[in-house]
Structure 1
Amino acid sequence: MTLRLILTRHAKSDWDNPLDSDHMRPLNPRGQRAAPKIGRWLARNGHLPQQALVSDAARTRQTWERLSAEFPAPVPARFEAALYHAGPDMMMQILQSASADTVIMIGHNPGIAVFARMLVDSPPTHPGFTRYPTCSTVIVEFDAPDWGSVRYGSGRVAAFIVPRDLDQAD
């Protein structure tokens, strides 16, 4: 069986309000534009999740709202406090609790960039993969019967995109 993970870093967030805690920072205008672009790209390319695992921070929730609005049908989402600035092992633990064949996980750097690198057998040649800029999205496929069987280094990169790539295509 093939399982598919869509791993997305939150879109660009706003640092303008000094009263906002890091957890409460919203998306800035650039992030508000980038998230729907990624959602349209996912839908156009048939990468539609059946379940979402999303950090409970404001910027990840807003990324999910704007991204998923581009899908043809609603996708159930689970907002996870443990994904807020999670490291790779926590991200793996949460992923292994997923129940759908295609899952999107939305989180934060530096953990998400490290997690992406650790999951795949061979990284894509895209120069953005190492930095994993805001709203970067990788599609990773696994030959596994369930998420509990997924291990580091066992995934194949099916696609990787950053919003700037979509800006250049417009």
Structure 2
Amino acid sequence: MSVAEPRRIVLFRHAKADWPQVTDHERPLAERGRKDAAVAGRRLAGTGVPFDLALCSTATRTRETWKLAVHELPQRPKTVYEERVYEASPGELIAVLNETPDDVRNLILVGHNPGIQGLAEVLSGSAEGDARERMTRRGFPAAAFALVSFEGSWKTLEPGVATLLDYWAPSE
């Protein structure tokens, strides 16, 4: 593919987690989280974006979110469980994304707040329609996602180069 073709990234926050007596990394999804993850998957399928790669935090709640959401997609992308996504800052997430091979056009990143929300905000130099206003008003609740687009190679991904195309969050 040409690096001039737009690339799309979905920044997907894990669904609602439970709080049992386990470490933060091992927290599972709550019942509501399991429902919202599937709904988010259907909404992701509705974007029509064919994902080439999914980068997912190794935390239990992100792996469970992705497992439920991916079943709703028309085609399953290659999935890489990346420990650097857990508790990552926006800058650390950009560093991970910069390593993406250029044959990947569309990617989904399944992670945690505040990193995922911060990344959506810092990448989006512009926005279409009311996507930014909706994201600002709603914040980034569990199972929310932002769809951004940029042109160039993954190595050129940096703050302000992307356009926020869409934002979605489950109703509460």
TM-score by length of 1: 0.90
Query: What are the ranges of 5 or more consecutive residues in structure 1 without an aligned counterpart?
Result: none
The whole-number CA distance in structure 1 between the counterparts of 2:107 and 2:135 is: 25
Q: Which runs of 4+ in 1 moved over 4 A?
A: 127-130
The whole-number CA distance in structure 2 between the counterparts of 1:36 and 1:162 is: 13
Contact 2:98 2:154 in 1 (8 A): yes
Aligned partner (choices 112, 130, 150) of residue 157 of structure 2: 150
Aligned partner (choices 1, 9, 16) of residue 13 of structure 2: 9
Distance 1:137 1:12, change over 3 A: same
How far did 1:56 drift? 0.3
Q: Does 1:46 align with 2:53?
A: no
Aligned partner (choices 57, 75, 88) of residue 86 of structure 1: 88
Q: Secondary structure at the match of 1:121?
A: strand
The whole-number CA distance in structure 1 between the counterparts of 2:145 and 2:135 is: 13
Opposite residue 141 of structure 1, the aligned amino acid is S
Q: Does 1:37 align with 2:39?
A: yes
How far did 1:55 drift? 0.4
- Give the root-mean-square deviation of aligned CA atoms: 1.5
Report Cα offsets for 1:117-154 as digits up to 9, x if no partner.
1000136110556621111100000021x111112101
Aligned length: 162
Q: Does 1:95 align with 2:103?
A: no
Aligned to 2:70: 68
TM-score by length of 2: 0.89
The whole-number CA distance in structure 2 between the counterparts of 1:106 and 1:46 is: 18
Query: What are the ranges of 5 or more consecutive residues in structure 2 without an aligned counterpart?
Result: none
Distance 1:86 1:28, change over 3 A: same
The whole-number CA distance in structure 2 between the counterparts of 1:69 and 1:112 is: 22
Contact 1:129 1:160 in 2 (8 A): no
The whole-number CA distance in structure 2 between the counterparts of 1:82 and 1:32 is: 24
The whole-number CA distance in structure 1 between the counterparts of 2:169 and 2:137 is: 9
Contact 2:135 2:167 in 1 (8 A): no
Aligned partner (choices 127, 134, 138) of residue 126 of structure 1: 134
